């Protein structure tokens, strides 16, 4: 068993640097040995911050480096498929950020390549490593709320959409941008695949874009029925402006479990006018900072201990299926039925 894993982070943008900072000194059993980004500006800034001197502009060159044992894929989604397969064929373990790929078929290719080459593949759903969300799962398993009947989850993000985000057939809208974590959370808590998904959405915050992008929606609600009978509700929104908001509720037969808070700190002020004031959470980067570190540690541990990654390629694929079918439900104005978590018209 190796004592250290040499890691290369592929993608040194905003999300990539969260991973780079963790692997640079906060994760046991690894060395951040290299960085890769096509942008020289991003690459040099990342090198200066982390102290890493081995730099690559092309991810293909990383695959030729025999000293790199694992890659952290934080590139745009359209590159995930080729990078993961190349890494697997080069014998390198893979951590891949969500969304896993562009299609379910690509996910299957990636899963098979990693299986065939006996390398680990872990997906980036960091909520599974957040202390509050893990405690919620523990409470659920302990039966503190009785048998689960309804699971609700929301994610609302404050960022103003970029121009490319208005084309939902390419970007998916909130269902893909913010709710993929909710889909994974509900699958994790329900312990079951989805039987039915029905989503609706509308544009409330960018009315000036309605004529150019009539299908764009910034707010959605998703109804789910799981194969084990549990019901689910997911709500999502972009550009909410008041802060970042991610919470989950599990309604059981004799109780309820509530996970997450909108408040940035466990402090509030009640003033003479009888108004309660508290600070709101500013960003997912703040809320899940510890979860990202725990997620990275779990990836390195599964390599060193030769164990199953806690979030698998199948988990990534099934979340992507729900993103696709949720958008399809919005665009076609109807519920979509699934068989074993996959669209009925795509199963044998």
For the stretch 220-246, pLDDT in tens is 999 999 999 999 999 999 999 999 999
CA 95 to each of CA 55, 135, 164, 300: distance values in angstroms, whole numbers, following the listed order? 19, 24, 26, 10
CATH of domain 130-283+318-346: 3.30.360.10
The pLDDT of residue 285 is 84
| Cα→Cα distances 93→38, 73, 182, 302, Å | 22, 11, 26, 10
Q: Where are the alpha helices (DSSP H) in 172-283?
A: 174-177, 180-190
Q: What is the pLDDT of residues 44-72, one digit of tens each?
A: 999 999 999 999 999 999 999 999 999 99
pLDDT at 195 over 50: yes
Structure confidence by residue, pLDDT tens digits, 81-126: 999 999 999 999 999 999 999 999 999 999 999 999 999 999 999 9
More confident residue, 152 or 3: 152
pLDDT (tens digit, 9 = 90+) per residue, 133-190?
A: 999 999 999 999 999 999 999 999 999 999 999 999 988 999 998 999 999 999 999 9
pTM summary value: 0.94
* pLDDT tens, position by position, 252-307: 999 999 999 988 887 888 889 999 888 999 998 899 999 999 999 999 999 999 99
In the predicted model, is pLDDT for residue 347 greater than 50?
no
> Measured between alpha carbons, how far is residue 216 from residues 201, 297, 301 in Å?
8, 38, 41
Q: Domain-by-domain residue ranges, the chain?
A: 5-119, 130-283+318-346
CATH topology of domain 5-119: Rossmann fold (3.40.50)
Rounded mean pLDDT, 202-216: 97
What confidence category does residue 3 fall into, taking pLDDT thresholds of 50, 70 and 90?
Answer: confident
């Amino acid at each position: 068993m190796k004592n250290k894993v040499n890691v290369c982070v592929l993608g040194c943008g905003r999300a990539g640097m969260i991973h780079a900072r963790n692997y640079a000194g906060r994760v046991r059993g690894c060395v951040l040995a290299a960085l890769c980004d096509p942008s020289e500006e991003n690459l040099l800034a990342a090198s200066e911050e982390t102290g890493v001197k081995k730099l690559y502009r092309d991810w293909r060159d990383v695959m030729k480096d025999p000293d790199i044992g694992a890659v952290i894929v934080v590139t745009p989604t359209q590159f995930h498929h080729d990078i993961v397969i190349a890494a697997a064929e080069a014998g390198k373990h893979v951590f891949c950020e969500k969304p896993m790929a562009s299609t379910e078929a690509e996910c299957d290719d990636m899963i098979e390549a990693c299986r065939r080459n006996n390398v680990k593949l872990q997906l980036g759903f960091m909520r599974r490593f957040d202390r509050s969300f893990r405690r919620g799962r523990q409470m659920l398993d302990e039966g503190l709320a009785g048998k689960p009947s309804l699971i609700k989850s929301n994610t609302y993000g404050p960022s103003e959409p970029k121009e490319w985000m208005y084309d939902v057939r390419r970007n998916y809208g909130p269902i893909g941008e913010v709710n993929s974590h909710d889909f994974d959370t509900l699958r994790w808590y329900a312990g079951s695949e989805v039987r039915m998904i029905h989503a609706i959405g509308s544009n409330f915050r960018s009315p000036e874009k309605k004529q150019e992008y009539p299908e764009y929606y910034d707010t959605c609600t998703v109804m789910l029925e799981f194969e084990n009978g549990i019901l689910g509700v997911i709500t999502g929104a972009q550009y909410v402006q008041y802060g970042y908001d991610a919470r989950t509720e599990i309604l059981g037969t004799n109780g309820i479990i509530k996970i997450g808070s909108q408040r940035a700190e466990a402090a509030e002020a009640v003033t003479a006018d009888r108004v309660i004031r508290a600070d709101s959470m500013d960003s997912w980067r703040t809320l899940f900072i510890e979860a990202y570190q725990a997620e990275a540690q779990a990836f390195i541990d599964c390599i060193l201990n030769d164990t199953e990654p806690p979030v698998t390629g199948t988990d990534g694929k099934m979340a992507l299926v729900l993103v696709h079918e949720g958008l399809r439900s919005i665009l076609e104005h109807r519920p979509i039925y699934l068989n074993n978590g996959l669209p009925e018209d795509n199963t044998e």
